[in-house]
Amino acid sequence: MSAHRSVPTNPSVPTNRSVSTNEPGTQLNLAALDGVLSSDVVARRLPSGDHLLQYEVTTRDGDGARSTPVVLFRPAGDEQEPIGAEGDRVAVVGHVRRRFYHAGGATHSRTEVVAKRIVLGADKRRRRALWKFAARELAVATDPPTR
């Protein structure tokens, strides 16, 4: 099992802000997952030099288990080893996106959660901080500032 650590995203890497309060009728794209890693974390270097960490998070409830792909971007130069192994507890806050790509002469799509913050392990303090972060994101979208 890996150490209990928070894995923050880097603000210099564009992630498409999940909450927009610039328009009337604020829209929201906020994802929160609390589960376990169903496989080891996979690290890839993108053509831009940035790093992409790929997680498979399995959540369970009364209706069964669901696996959700999660990605975390890290800027070029951030050479930290991937954190997390199969079976580790994980909590994620981010947004859902669908991306399209070409492979084998065909266009494919993938729906995934782009992580803003990830907490690995069962550290209650870090997990509580993550859920407070999610609550603030939700509050911004549901209670936009008055003009």
Q: What is the DSSP string of 86-108?
A: TT-EEEEEEEEEEEEEEETTEEE
Phi, psi of 133, rounded to the nearest 5 degrees: -60, -45
Residue pLDDT tens, the chain, 147 long = 444 444 544 433 334 444 444 454 568 899 999 999 999 999 888 888 888 999 999 999 999 999 999 999 988 777 666 678 999 999 999 999 999 989 999 999 999 999 999 999 989 999 999 999 999 988 877 775 665
Using a cut of 0.85, tell me whether the model's pTM lies above it: no
**Residue boundaries of the structural domains of the chain:** 5-142
5-142: CATH number:
2.40.50.140
